[in-house]
């Protein structure tokens, strides 16, 4: 299995949390085969909204959710 990574973001209620305000308006940046490319996409998306403190983008390690035994890898 590939080390899939999902990058997405949206407006949060509190910038210190991941409590997204409107799940219907989540911006799905994409799925990436490795962390390096996911991080590059995350940085680009976050940079576009750097002046908006209520916007937050994250990288999710999908491979860890799908195969929890891979966490130590």
The domains of the chain are located at 5-70
Domain 5-70 bears CATH identifier 3.40.640.10: no
Distance CA 54, CA 69 (A): 34
What pLDDT shows up at residue 1?
54
Cβ proximity of 62 and 1 under 8 Å:
no
pTM: 0.83
For residue range 12-49, what is the model confidence (pLDDT) as tens digits? Answer: 999 899 999 999 999 999 999 999 999 999 999 999 99
Contacts of 58 (CB under 8 A, 6+ apart): 7, 8, 9, 18, 42
What pLDDT shows up at residue 3?
86
Tell me the HSE value of 19 on the side-chain side, using a 13 A CA sphere.
5
Distance CA 10, CA 20 (A): 7
Residues in a beta bridge with 7: 30, 59
């Amino acid at each position: 299995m590939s080390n899939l990574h999902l990058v997405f973001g949206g407006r949060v209620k509190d910038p210190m949390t991941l409590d997204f305000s409107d799940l219907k308006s989540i911006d799905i940046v994409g799925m990436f085969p490795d962390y390096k490319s996911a991080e590059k996409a995350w940085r680009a998306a976050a940079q576009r909204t750097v002046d908006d403190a209520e916007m937050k983008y994250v990288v999710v390690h999908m491979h860890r959710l799908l195969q929890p035994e891979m966490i130590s890898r």
